[in-house]
Amino acid sequence: MTVCPTATPGRPFGRVLTAMVTPFDEDGKLDLKLVQELATYLVDTVGNDGLVVNGTTGESPTTSDHEKEQLIRAVVDAVGDRATVVAGAGTNNTEHSVELARAAEKAGAHGLLVVTPYYSRPPQEGLFQHFWTVADGTELPVMLYDIPPRSVVPIQVDTLKRLAEHPRIKAVKDSKHDLLAGSEVMASTDLAYYSGEDPLNLPWLSVGAVGFVSVIGHVVGDRLRRMLDAHEAGDVAGARNIHNGLLPVYRSMNFVGGVIFSKTAMRLCGYETGQPRLPLPAATEEQVRLITSDLWDAGLVLVNPDAAQR
**Catalytically active residues, by annotation:** 145, 173
Q: Are 195 and 231 in contact (CB under 8 A)?
A: no
Distance from the Cα of residue 127 to its chain's centroid: 21
Q: Which residues contact 231 (CB under 8 A, 6 or more apart)?
A: 202, 205, 206, 239
State the Cα–Cα distance between residues 236 and 243, nearest whole angstrom: 10
